[in-house]
Structure 1
Amino acid sequence: MTSYRQPGVVLTDHRFTVPLDHTDPSGERIELYGREVVAAGQVGADLPWLVYLEGGPGFGARRFVGTQAWLGRAVREFRVLLLDQRGTGRSTPANRQTLPLRGGPRAQADHLAHFRADSIVRDCELIRRRLTGGAPWTVLGQSFGGFCATHYLSTAPGGLRTVLITGGLPSLDAPADDVYRAAYPRVQRKVEAHYARYPQDVERARRIAAHLTEHRTVLPGGYVLTPEAFQSLGILLGSGDGSHRLHYLLENAFVRTPTGPALSDGFQEEVHAALSFAGHPLYALLHEPIYAQGRGPTAWAAERVRAEFPQFDAGKALAGDGPLLFTGETIHPWHFDVDPALRPLRETAELLAARTDWPALYDAGRLAANTVPVAAAVYHDDMYVDTAHSLATARAVGSLRTWVTDEYEHDGVRASGHRVLDRLLALARGEA
């Protein structure tokens, strides 16, 4: 193990080996990476552990510097483990470069079937026993990390001291179609709110989409920016500062050139950084499977359900005089055509979309009988996780207290500094 310092904290690198398939513990093993963080003055103290599960799927744990965001509050009383979930960050990677080592698309899809919440939680249980000597720990789950925490409560509550969930209470039974059917109206509300704040962006967005319709545009790195791909910049609107970031991006889209207006290099570079899946391909591959629970294939649910909302059709918007609607947290087959980080994985994605044998993730009976203290922040009109679904789950889980707030968007636990974590700890302890 390697230890090093940042302002106010001491960091230690941990590596763990776990079974790829937990039903075959003697089979292939993969490596997981975790970063331990402890306050500089408490390195030798006997502190309880808190494990942080990042959102996604497909993102490694956030790389904080010192005591940024909620971490400064956490290290006052916890030894924190920032875990790179399987396939992410410094854990054994799963991407277009490494997956061919598995074989063809079928073998790759079978491999990725082991990268959902059920496997992540079993990883956590092996790691917990190693780090705590068997003592239960606290889980902080952001977004998809909250989905994992809910599965944890369903399958291994004995390993849990407390569960804290931010923007990540999933529906216990909604199929992917219902998730996206609830999502598109929320996304439309966010876009309308953005245009109300920045009315000048209505024409800017239409002009950019029209340009992309008429000119094939290939961004740095080979990403093909189609009108639909441009619309997906709406994913920014789910964060606290996302509307402002989108506005500043749109206002510098065009430059004058000898051959006429063109999309600026700076705009293209920023769009590529926002849209490329090179750093998190599992997000695209597993985004719909995280909702699958053995009731048929997901079958590109977001794409199919989008047809029920024709107002999101870029061509129809440009043919009329209405605003172009951005989209949000949805994955479509065309993502695997326009993004070079995903193109080699198109057939693998098709096989995952057709898969029907996904096991159930949540045990409603066990959740109803839960006695582990749980506190969940539910962000009012969260663009990424449906509020009604979250509140229905909150009513179905024993010993769970909710804090519903419109003060923050989906990234509240980071944007609020210590406030969201403070509130959740107080709720879980009966102090609020």
Structure 2
Amino acid sequence: MPTSFTRPGYACADHFLDVPLDHGDPAGPTIQVYAREVVAPGRRDDDLPWLLFLQGGPGNRAPRPGAMPAAWLERALRDYRVLLLDQRGTGRSTPANRQTLPADPKAAAEYLRHFRADSIVRDAELLRRHLIGDRPWSVLGQSFGGFCSVTYLSIAPEGLSEAFITGGLPSLTATPDDWYRAAYRRIAAANECYFARYPEDQDAARRIAAHLDENDERLPGGERLTARRFQTIGIGLGHSVQFDNLHYLLEEAFISGGRLSDTFLRGVDGIVSFAAQPLYALIHEACVSNGMASNWAAARVLAEFPEFEPQAEPFRFLGETILPFLFEEDPALVPLRECADLVAAHEWPALYDAERLASTTVPVTAAVYYDDMYVDREMSMATASVIPGIRTWVTSEYAHNGLSADANVLDRLIALRRGDR
């Protein structure tokens, strides 16, 4: 029986389910997936439709009600019983990290071949049948969760009654090189916007990078902070609040004597460490490898953009790009370097079926953020053109985190689904 608790605004129940590690081998080893059911307290006994939420990532656990920004959840609970899935390898599902993966790099890489969207969708299908039998349910996919939703439409559309996607329509045809080439252009544009708002931070960032080249500064985990790792604190620049957060962090970088402050180093560590989400680093490129190997595409393509060199003028932060040096400098990733090389070299099967998408009858509504740093607008619209009947809302009002920041995003998509807009 699931355990349950009630807090103001939410009645929650826990669900655990054993699933095959490899869905192609149902009799083989199993792992456990966890999902939290959330319903408005006064509606626990109502026969509500279910809404599966697929979190962005990869490698991020589902939001915790009341503990993480999730403006959409209150809106969803007006109409749905929500299921917050910790995607395999994350949160309370069987974890995949340096402490739990096989010590042998080859065995670890083989294990990680089962942690992309196709496996997540098949986990969801087993959960659906476990919880509600043959009834289809709704899905809400944010960012990488949107990629998973498109995979769902490709391989198990019979499980869906409708799909809502925010900032997460993937390309059906782009190679990893195409993806990261477009990504670096968007990251450069985000840097321009950031430094236009806080022009004095250009000097601050350049001074910090130069200081790190000449001085041994240590993060709380004990490792040296390098200029190139400092650059990666730009990973959050596609979220509405991160411009300000980054500025306030840089404000407190130095103390008297010219050393970096503990406050700054602690704040940097909270951004650049992958201890809480190692899967993000391990399979990020795999999630844009639709029928091919990535072979460290982000690093290869970076050579085409010398303006991102740490010593370049003007200084630029990096964004959502996983580079091999992270597996040399982040203690949570160092033991996984050889495994990561094997994952990067793996020839991945296709995630999407364009023909099946073109024949889907599942109603789909999608928010496409015009200046999204993480997901390319033009690629998203090309995918939308393949899905019949999809209703897209292209907006520059929100950044990539619009769904968690403002309940109106989900409300707008529900209205589009119902024909109210």
TM-score of the superposition, structure 1-length normalised? 0.95
1:126-174 superposed Cα distances (whole Å, 9 cap, x missing partner): 1001111210000000000000000000111110011000000000011
User: In the alignment, what sits opposite 2:58?
Assistant: 57
Using the alignment, how far apart are the partners of 2:369 and 2:30 within structure 1?
Answer: 38
Aligned counterparts, 1:334-353, within 5 A = 334-353=325-344
User: In the alignment, what sits opposite 1:238?
Assistant: 238
Using the alignment, how far apart are the partners of 1:11 and 1:125 within structure 2?
Answer: 21
1:284-340 superposed Cα distances (whole Å, 9 cap, x missing partner): 000000111333x2111001101101111113x1xxxx3201110000000001100
1:323-376 superposed Cα distances (whole Å, 9 cap, x missing partner): 2011100000000011000000000000011112x1111111111111100000
Q: Please state if 1:12 is matched with 2:2.
A: no
User: In the alignment, what sits opposite 1:144?
Assistant: 144
User: In the alignment, what sits opposite 1:171?
Assistant: 171
Q: Is residue 222–residue 339 contact of structure 1 (8 Å, CA) maintained in 2?
A: no
User: In the alignment, what sits opposite 1:219?
Assistant: 219
Using the alignment, how far apart are the partners of 1:431 and 1:69 within structure 2?
Answer: 21
Q: Is residue 70–residue 403 contact of structure 2 (8 Å, CA) maintained in 1?
A: no
Using the TM superposition, give the Cα deviation of residue 103 of structure 1 relative to its aligned residue in structure 2, in angstroms: 4.3
Using the alignment, how far apart are the partners of 1:362 and 1:125 within structure 2?
Answer: 17
Q: Is residue 162–residue 362 contact of structure 2 (8 Å, CA) maintained in 1?
A: yes
Using the TM superposition, give the Cα deviation of residue 24 of structure 1 relative to its aligned residue in structure 2, in angstroms: 0.6
Using the TM superposition, give the Cα deviation of residue 68 of structure 1 relative to its aligned residue in structure 2, in angstroms: 4.8
Using the TM superposition, give the Cα deviation of residue 218 of structure 1 relative to its aligned residue in structure 2, in angstroms: 2.0
Using the alignment, how far apart are the partners of 1:293 and 1:25 within structure 2?
Answer: 24
Using the TM superposition, give the Cα deviation of residue 9 of structure 1 relative to its aligned residue in structure 2, in angstroms: 1.5
1:281 counterpart letter in structure 2: P
Q: Please state if 1:425 is matched with 2:414.
A: yes
2:259 aligns to what SS in structure 1? strand
Using the alignment, how far apart are the partners of 2:250 and 2:240 within structure 1?
Answer: 18
Aligned counterparts, 1:407-422, within 5 A = 407-416=397-406, 418-422=407-411
Q: Please state if 1:312 is matched with 2:314.
A: no
User: In the alignment, what sits opposite 2:76?
Assistant: 74
Using the alignment, how far apart are the partners of 1:306 and 1:174 within structure 2?
Answer: 17
> Relative to structure 1, is the Cα distance of residues 73 and 265 closer, same or farther in structure 2, using a 3 angstrom cutoff?
same
Q: Please state if 1:114 is matched with 2:105.
A: no
Q: Is residue 90–residue 277 contact of structure 2 (8 Å, CA) maintained in 1?
A: yes
Q: Is residue 286–residue 344 contact of structure 2 (8 Å, CA) maintained in 1?
A: yes
User: In the alignment, what sits opposite 1:300?
Assistant: 296
Aligned counterparts, 1:151-170, within 5 A = 151-170=151-170
1:378 aligns to what SS in structure 2? strand
Q: Please state if 1:288 is matched with 2:285.
A: yes
TM-score of the superposition, structure 2-length normalised? 0.98
2:152 aligns to what SS in structure 1? helix
- Percent of aligned pairs with the same amino acid: 59
1:141 aligns to what SS in structure 2? strand
1:123 aligns to what SS in structure 2? helix
User: In the alignment, what sits opposite 1:269?
Assistant: 266
User: In the alignment, what sits opposite 1:374?
Assistant: 364
Where in structure 1 do 4 or more consecutive aligned residues deviate above 2 Å? none
2:71 aligns to what SS in structure 1? coil
Q: Is residue 21–residue 27 contact of structure 1 (8 Å, CA) maintained in 2?
A: yes
User: In the alignment, what sits opposite 2:324?
Assistant: 333
Q: Is residue 19–residue 27 contact of structure 1 (8 Å, CA) maintained in 2?
A: yes
1:261 aligns to what SS in structure 2? coil
Using the alignment, how far apart are the partners of 2:223 and 2:52 within structure 1?
Answer: 35
- Number of equivalenced pairs: 419
1:314 aligns to what SS in structure 2? coil
1:198 counterpart letter in structure 2: Y
Using the alignment, how far apart are the partners of 2:395 and 2:223 within structure 1?
Answer: 37
Using the alignment, how far apart are the partners of 2:196 and 2:290 within structure 1?
Answer: 39
Q: Is residue 212–residue 226 contact of structure 2 (8 Å, CA) maintained in 1?
A: yes
Using the alignment, how far apart are the partners of 1:334 and 1:272 within structure 2?
Answer: 16
Where does structure 2 lack aligned partners over 5 or more consecutive residues? none
Using the alignment, how far apart are the partners of 2:291 and 2:190 within structure 1?
Answer: 32
1:60-98 superposed Cα distances (whole Å, 9 cap, x missing partner): 001121895111111111110000000000000000000
Using the alignment, how far apart are the partners of 1:222 and 1:398 within structure 2?
Answer: 53
Using the alignment, how far apart are the partners of 2:223 and 2:168 within structure 1?
Answer: 30
Using the TM superposition, give the Cα deviation of residue 224 of structure 1 relative to its aligned residue in structure 2, in angstroms: 2.9
Using the alignment, how far apart are the partners of 1:328 and 1:211 within structure 2?
Answer: 21
User: In the alignment, what sits opposite 2:206?
Assistant: 206
Q: Please state if 1:388 is matched with 2:391.
A: no
Q: Is residue 236–residue 245 contact of structure 1 (8 Å, CA) maintained in 2?
A: no
What RMSD in Å do the two structures reach over aligned CA positions? 1.1
Using the alignment, how far apart are the partners of 2:265 and 2:171 within structure 1?
Answer: 37
2:255 aligns to what SS in structure 1? strand
User: In the alignment, what sits opposite 1:3?
Assistant: 4
User: In the alignment, what sits opposite 2:191?
Assistant: 191
Deviates more, 1:225-234 or 1:108-117: 225-234
